[in-house]
Amino acid sequence: MFYWIGAGSLAVVVCVPFFFMISTAFKSRGALMNIPMEWIPKEPTMEAFAKLFDVPYFIRSMGNSLYIAASCTAAQLLFASMAAFALTKIPFKGQKVIFSLFVTALMIPVQITFIPIFIILTRLGLTNSLNAFILFQFFNAFAIFMLRQRMLTIHDALIEAALIDGADWWRIFFQIVIPLCGGTLATLGILSFMSVWNDYLLPLVLLSDRAKATLPVILSGLSSQYKYQYDLMMAGALVSIVPIFVLYICVQGQFKEGMTVGGVKG
Amino acid sequence: MRNAKIRNAVMAFTFLLPSLLGFAVFSILPMLVSATVSLSDWDGLHELTLFDDAAGFFREYGVGLSHYAAIFRSAELWQTLGNTLEFVVTYVPLMLIAALGVGLILTQKRRGSGVLRALYYIPVITSWVAGALVWRWALSPEYGIVNAILDIVGIRGTMWLQSEDWAMPGIVLASVWKDMGYFGLMFFAGLRSIDQGYYEAAQIDGAGRVRQFINVTLPMLSPTMFFVIIISIINSLQIFPQVMVMTPGGGPGGSTMVMVERIYTRAFSYYQMGYASALSWVLFAVIFIMTFVQMKLQEGWVTYSV
């Protein structure tokens, strides 16, 4: 009994804003401000979506978001696995020092470094560049940490055998270690894609050119440009959620482990 | 043998190169730049000569520690910290209750629990900008769904984001909604790791479900609880998109000014890069102190299972 009351009321809390978003997105401008409120639009219309796709740079911003989410994810997975590989499988002095240095970086949030990052990229002439976001993925402490944990469980005998057979480190990395990390890489990939797709602060600061803006930046701009046109804003919110929602449903099985893994990130 | 050692070191360095570069340029260098710029009143508009001619830069823009002095004298800082405190003391308990609820519900293996788990997690995967836009509209005093629902239960709604007193609670509601699935899953993981033997022993001793919850579940869950509290407080100090989107400009009467929003506004609306950098160091110090205090408190009340 308690179970159903609890489960039900939490589900309602989760759903109400989404319900309101969807219902508003299909209302006409006039129906928006009807009192009493129309819970379900009496005359549903796609007007808001048509207007939304006419908003300058809206469609383009979806492309931009897709581009940086995909390229940043690829870069993060590659570079973090390379680092984790060196920190676990190639014996050299300084492994521990470098790893603990990297871990301290987890304590420095982007909310503190976004101003100097803006300054550095301005100096490098890399503001308003989507590719600059790939640079941020050269080093990702969280991904290195997770992949290191995974690689520590790979038996060293496997590596030694390959070395004796004459394989070089690159071959060992790409043909032995990477395939064994599949699950962790998939989980990290999903988390990374979602976090880049949803990121707001850095794109807001670094991409002031509308043609380069990402979806969240254009979306937040709607609220000042199209004041009170909430049908438009809700349509925009809905459109931004759908791709990530579809991705989430597709990878849910994979994600079950990923969610608790991601919990360490904070 | 020696050769192999050197070869390994070179190889390791090659594999580490991208990460080391990124670490140097986007973790270490920003701290140095931020510390340096915080001692200047550079505006972000004039050319930055710091990297080419540091002495000249300081001759032109150097102000010493005066930004820090100004920050601690400013009413804005104390109002900002007060707002943040208001956020923390309302958000953290509400979120804990909701997230614990999510965790407890998910541990019950019943039909449809997979669907519930997916459902509770949807706000987490939603972007904050989309979520904040939805909440801004949902909290509209005349046309929003929140006041409409309150009206049905016979409660008169408030002005929410347009009122000095209710703007922050509105942001808290949105944040609890967004985060409860995330922390709920952490509780779920924590609850699952509790040894069933404790419950059996408690049952044999005649403890009811409530007693079991208080005397077994809560103490066994305290490491998770501790972790969730730390993370959620540290996150609370850094809230940004929801505040920017729901109440642009610091909210009515500055009632939703928070640290990151102030840092952003100072840097990119007022063009006070120096002041903003100093402010970000104050934030860093606060986060650092919070983490430290929590670590100390942890020793007192966390039960680790043996």
Average pLDDT value for residue range A227-242: 93
> Per-residue pLDDT for A219 more than 80?
yes
**Looking at residue B98, what is its pLDDT?**
96
Residue B239 domain boundaries: 74-300
Contacts of B6 in chain A (CB under 8 A): none
Beta bridge partners, B40, equal B62
Contact A73, A109 (CB under 8 A): no
Q: How confident is the model at residue A261 (pLDDT cuts 50, 70, 90)?
A: very low
Does A2 lie in the same domain as A134? no
> Per-residue pLDDT for B169 more than 90?
yes
Which spans in chain A are helix H? 2-25, 47-54, 58-88, 95-104, 110-123, 132-135, 141-152, 156-164, 169-171, 178-180, 182-198, 201-206, 215-225, 230-250, 252-262
Does the distance separating the beta carbons of A248 and B125 come in below 8 Å?
yes
Average pLDDT value for residue range A45-62: 93
Question: Which candidate from A7, A91, A111 shows the least CB-CB separation from B240?
Answer: A111
> Per-residue pLDDT for B305 more than 60?
no
Does A32 lie in the same domain as A147? no
Q: Is residue B160 part of a domain?
A: yes
**Looking at residue B300, what is its pLDDT?**
63
B40-54, B58-72, B179-193, range with the lowest pLDDT: B40-54
Contacts of B118 in chain A (CB under 8 A): 248-249, 252
**Which two tokens mark B225?**
């609880």
How far CA B170 is from CA of A18, A38, B80, B235, in Å, comes to: 17, 23, 17, 17
Q: Which residue of A has its CA nearest to B189?
A: A260
Does the distance separating the beta carbons of A112 and B34 come in below 8 Å?
yes
Does the distance separating the beta carbons of A123 and B51 come in below 8 Å?
yes
Question: Which candidate from A10, A122, A198 shows the least CB-CB separation from B102?
Answer: A10
Q: How far apart are CA B87 and CA B170, in angstroms?
A: 10
Contact A194, A244 (CB under 8 A): yes
Name the minimum distance, in Å, from the CA of B270 to any CA of chain A: 13
Average pLDDT value for residue range B186-207: 90
- The residue with greater pLDDT, B34 or B209, is B34
Does A129 lie in the same domain as A87? yes
Name the minimum distance, in Å, from the CA of A115 to any CA of chain B: 7
Q: What is the pTM of this model?
A: 0.90
Residue A11 domain boundaries: 1-45
> Per-residue pLDDT for B303 more than 70?
no
Name the minimum distance, in Å, from the CA of B259 to any CA of chain A: 9
How far CA A158 is from CA of A82, A151, A165, B15, B40, in Å, comes to: 18, 12, 11, 19, 55
Q: What is the pLDDT of residues B51-90, one digit of tens each?
A: 888 888 888 888 989 999 999 999 999 999 999 999 999 9
> Per-residue pLDDT for A259 more than 70?
no
Q: Which residue of A15, A61, A111, A163 to mutate against B (max B Cβ within 10 Å)?
A: A111
> Per-residue pLDDT for B302 more than 80?
no
Name the minimum distance, in Å, from the CA of A248 to any CA of chain B: 8
Average pLDDT value for residue range A169-183: 94
How far CA A28 is from CA of A24, A234, A242, in Å, comes to: 8, 12, 21
Contacts of B140 in chain A (CB under 8 A): 230
Contacts of A108 in chain B (CB under 8 A): 27, 30-31, 284
What's the burial of A118, exposed, middle or buried (CB within 10 Å: 0-12/13-18/19+)?
buried
Does A92 lie in the same domain as A196? yes
Q: How far apart are CA B75 and CA B233, in angstroms?
A: 23
ipTM score assigned to the predicted complex? 0.89
Does A231 lie in the same domain as A124? yes
Question: Which candidate from A33, A79, A223 shows the least CB-CB separation from B245?
Answer: A223
**Looking at residue B2, what is its pLDDT?**
74
Q: If you average pLDDT over every residue of chain B, what do you get?
A: 91
Does A66 lie in the same domain as A186? yes
Average pLDDT value for residue range B214-237: 89
Task: State the CATH number of the domain containing residue B102.
Answer: 1.10.3720.10
Does the distance separating the beta carbons of B143 and A37 come in below 8 Å?
yes
**Looking at residue A266, what is its pLDDT?**
30
What's the burial of B223, exposed, middle or buried (CB within 10 Å: 0-12/13-18/19+)?
middle
Q: If you average pLDDT over every residue of chain A, what do you get?
A: 90
Average pLDDT value for residue range B252-274: 94
Q: How many domains does chain B have?
A: 1
**Looking at residue A31, what is its pLDDT?**
84
> Per-residue pLDDT for B284 more than 70?
yes
In 3-state terms, chain B is what percent helix, strand and coil (to 5)?
Answer: 75, 0, 25
Angle of CA points B144, B146, B150, to nearest 5°: 125
Contacts of A174 in chain B (CB under 8 A): none
Q: Which residue of A has its CA nearest to B135?
A: A17
Give B67-71 contacts, CB < 8 A, sequence gap 24+. B67/B38, B67/B39, B67/B41, B67/B274, B67/B275, B67/B277, B67/B278, B67/B279, B68/B38, B68/B278, B68/B281, B68/B282, B70/B275, B71/B275, B71/B278, B71/B279, B71/B282
Q: What is the pLDDT of residues A102-120, one digit of tens each?
A: 988 888 888 889 999 999 9
Does the distance separating the beta carbons of B129 and A241 come in below 8 Å?
no
Does the distance separating the beta carbons of A102 and B137 come in below 8 Å?
no
**Looking at residue B28, what is its pLDDT?**
93
**Looking at residue B51, what is its pLDDT?**
82
Contact A89, A162 (CB under 8 A): no
Q: How many domains does chain A have?
A: 2
Does A38 lie in the same domain as A106? no
Q: Is residue B54 part of a domain?
A: no
Name the minimum distance, in Å, from the CA of A30 to any CA of chain B: 12
Q: Is cis: bond before A36, omega within 30 of 0?
A: yes
Q: Which residue of A10, A242, A257 to mutate against B (max B Cβ within 10 Å)?
A: A10
CB neighbour burial string for A24-56, b if at least 16 within 10 angstroms, e if fewer? bbbbeeebbeeeebeeebeeeeebbbebbeebe
A32-41, A179-188, B252-261, range with the lowest pLDDT: A32-41
Contact A231, A242 (CB under 8 A): no
Contacts of A222 in chain B (CB under 8 A): 133
